[in-house]
Amino acid sequence: MTAARIETSVADGSMRIALSGEIDLANAAAVEEEIREAVSHQPTTVSVDLTDLTYMDSAGVRILFALASQLQALRIVLELIVPPDSPTRRLVELSGFESLAALRPRSH
C-alpha cells in the first residue's frame, strides 16, 4: 500500500505542509482529506513542501489543483516548495502549476 506522511506546522500566520513518501491513486483520497483538515486555521499563506516526496503522479497533482482552487476562494496564498532536483519537480512543471502558485526551491 502506498504510504505518505503529512506534517504541518504554523509560524507567523503561515502554514507549512510537508509531504513525504509517495502519492498515487491508492492513497490520494486519504492524503487530500488530511490536507483539507489541516488547513482549517485560515492562515495567510500555505506552503506545501514536496522536497521529501519521492513519487507523485496525476492523482497527487489533482490534489494540488483542488487545494489551489480551495485556497483561492479563501484568498489564501499558496506556494510550492520543490527543489530543482526533487523527484516531483518535473511533474509539477509539466502540469503548468506555476500559473496557480509560486514554485520555490526551498522554504524560507
Q: For residues 5 and 41, which CB has a smaller minimum distance to another protein in the complex? A: 5
Calpha distance 8→68 (Å, rounded) = 17
Strands of the chain, DSSP E: 4-11, 14-23, 45-56, 77-81, 102-104
| 52 lines the binding site for another protein (CB under 8 A) | no
| 14 lines the binding site for another protein (CB under 8 A) | no
**Could you tell me the three cell numbers for 68?**
489551489
Identify the DSSP state of 98: G
Site string for another protein, 88-107 (x = CB under 8 A): --xx--xx------------
Please report where in the chains the cell 498515487 appears, as a residue: 24
Minimum CB distance to another protein, residue 9 (Å): 25
Residues near another protein (CB under 8 A) are 1-2, 22, 24-26, 55, 57-59, 61-62, 65, 87, 90-91, 94-95
